[in-house]
Structure formats: structure tokens, C-alpha cells
Homo-oligomer: A and B are copies of this chain.
Amino acid sequence: MSAARLRLGMVGGGRDAFIGAVHRIASRIDGHFELVAGCFSSTAEKSKASGADLGLPEDRVYGDFAEMAKREARLKTGIEAVAIVTPNHMHYAPAREFLKRGIHVICDKPLTSTLADAKKLKKAVEASGALFVLTHNYTGYPMVRQAREMIAAGELGAIRVVQVEYPQDWLSEKLEDTGQKQAGWRTDPARSGAGGSIGDIGTHAYNLARFMTGLRLEALCADLDSFVEGRQLDDNGHVMLRFEGGAKGMLWASQVAPGNENALRIRVYGTKGGVAWEQENPNRLLHSPLGEPVRVITRNGAGAGEAAGRLSRIPPGHPEGYLEGFANIYSETALAIRAHQAGGAPDPQIAYPTIDDGVEGMAFVDACVRSSKRDAAWVTLNM
């Protein structure tokens, strides 16, 4: 932890929101950020109430994100970064406002609700000179970094096969009809975009595969379904992947698979070995060198390398979890912001998902939807 905390604002994340609280905890864990301002709701009153819950001074709580951006930019101790944790369709507009004023943006995923917005946002980022971080938080898990480091070092040889999946069960029934807020916007094309499960969790799976292997996608074909009657967006997606260099993959995202909570899992196989990782038990990575027994590498334990070590806080055998993985994204961001503020180059070890990952994620959703409409034809990403 360095001495002075970065001043953080938040857009969205009021009472009842799930992900706002996660961002707040993640920003606190390593002590790099202090939440000092927020626009927690577009209803001023609700925003004030949430701000009060959080102990913020009244004059730093806003009912309008544009006003917040404007005023905070002028304050001497205004926010240095803002976390945008609204539903997908409300990412673009606030992000642009803050970027315009040089305030760094930490934005929830998927990037936007449309590919067009995503591309516009990319331009806004490039024009601003500010940092833009997308919270594909699973890339913050130490053992994901371990796998990535091993693959980059050639320990698995040339990659042949990538199997990634993210099944859940919470939308097995028509939860959106019960008034449940999370289910409401996630199944609504106006707020979520063209993708349902494929956007909400499929993009996580896709990003994880890309981050871990570094392989670019050449083409995909997708078969999307809305199994729950009357649901407008997909709740199950089957995707086949073709990567550059000939590697092949399968991706499965589902919100109708009973018994699966957040069972994100990835397996990568190359000419020399394989790795397997599961989000629900994330402190271990199975490594299978060809022709040798499978090895269980643990976070910070024997056999773990530098990439995992620098994102670990505690000894092996003491599990770090989802919030620490999320916090790692925040801490990487803090390091990058400080390097940026100091005018120097960030440490090359620092890694976090960027605007490019965001655009690619939206292109992935767009491609899946296009492919599925054309009877699972092979399509390329439109980036």
C-alpha cells in the first residue's frame, strides 16, 4: 500500500445493486483507493440515500453523472478515477463525460450495449489520454496469471485446444418476472444489448481464454438459445472457436444449468502439456506435463511463479477469493495511474483488461448473435 490513496468516484451501485458493493470492497482491500464521491442513482434522492449509507459528504453525492464529472474535475481534490457500475447501456455516456475531463475510468463489463457504442467509446478513450480499465475481474486471479505466464513461456508448447465454460443456474426459471432487479435488466435487450448469457458471462469466458492463451480469434460459430419461454435474450450459448495458428476451442455459457453457481472453468492443451483452472476453487492450477503425473500448483505455493506471486497477499493454503481477484484489477489500475501521474511508463508486469478487450468483447457478442441467426455459420469478429 502506498501512502496517499487515490480519490475514487462511482457511477451506479446504489442500494440493491450487487456489483457496486463488489467494486467498493475491491477498491478498499489493498488500500489504494478512497471512495469520495458518487452518483449512485439517476434519481437524486436515491443517490443521496446511498451516499449517506456510505458516509460520503452530501456535496460529493450527485444525481447526475454529467454534473458530477464537471464539478469533480474542477475540485482541487476531485476524483482521480471513477468506477462505472451501471447496467451495460449506461456505460458509454458517463464514461465519455469523465474521460473528456481526463478522469481515469474503471468500467464494468461488457463494455456497452452495442458494438457501435463500444467503438465510439474507444475513440473517446484514445482522445482523452486517460486510462480505461474494464473489470474482466477473472483475469485478476493469481492462478490465471500463473497459467498465462506458463503458456507465454512455452511450457505447454503450441496450443491446440481451449475448452472454456461458464455455467450458472440462476435464470433457470423466469426470474425477471418476479421483479428481481438483476434478472430484470440482464434479460432486457434495451439495457443489456443483443446478448443475454453470451454477453453477461460468455464475454468473461471469451476474455479469459484470450487473456490466458494470448491467441487471437479467427472465426466462431454459435448456437444461442432462450430456453425459458418468453425470454428475449439467450440464456444458453454453445460456441465453437477457431484461433490463429490452428488452435480450436469450445465455449459454453449458460444460465439454465442447475447446480452451477459461477462455474467458470478453463482448460488449455498444447503439444507439451495442459492446464486446468476453476473459478469456484481458484487457488490451484492443475498442470499436466505430457507423460508426467498431473501437478497441483497452489497460489504462492511450490511451483508457482512470479506472475501469481505478485498478486498474492497471503501464504498458500489460505484461500484468496473473488474479491481479492477483483481487487487485483483495482491494484493494477492504481499502479498504472500512479505511473501515469508520474509521467513514467508503468511496470511491464502490470496487466489489466483495456478498452480493446471491451471492444473485442462486444464484437464477440455481435458475432455470436450474427452466427446464431445464420444457423451457426462461421463468422469473424467485426472490430
Taking Cβ atoms with an 8 Å cutoff, the residues of A that contact B are 1-5, 18, 21-22, 24-25, 28-31, 52-55, 160-161, 163, 165, 168-170, 172-173, 221, 223, 225, 227, 236, 238, 240, 242, 246, 248-250, 252, 254, 256-263, 267, 269-274, 276, 279-283, 286-298, 301-303, 313-324, 375-376, 378
Contact = CB atoms under 8 A, between A and B. Distances in A.
Nearest to A52: B3
A322 B314 contact: yes
B221 A298 contact: no
A303 B293 contact: yes
A276 B290 CA distance: 23
Contact of A3 (B55, B225, B240): B55
A258 B350 CA distance: 30
Contacts of A55: 1-5, 31
A161 B293 contact: no
Which of A2, A173, A273, A315: most chain B CB closer than 10 A?
A315
A168 B378 CA distance: 27
How many copies the complex holds: the figure is 4
A269 B316 CA distance: 19
Contacts of A286: 259
A274 B298 contact: no
B274 A257 contact: yes
Contact of A319 (B1, B246, B280): B280
Contacts of A225: 160, 246, 248
A302 B313 contact: no
Nearest to A292: B302
Contacts of A25: 29-31, 313
Nearest to A375: B378
B318 A319 contact: no
A324 B327 CA distance: 13
A330 to B, nearest CB: 12
A18 B289 CA distance: 25
A296 to B, nearest CB: 4
Contacts of A273: 258-259
A271 B314 contact: no
A196 to B, nearest CB: 14
Nearest to A273: B258
A313 B281 CA distance: 17
Given A258-B269, A314-B323, 4 more contacts: A25-B29, A161-B257, A323-B324, A375-B378
A321 B325 CA distance: 11
A209 to B, nearest CB: 14
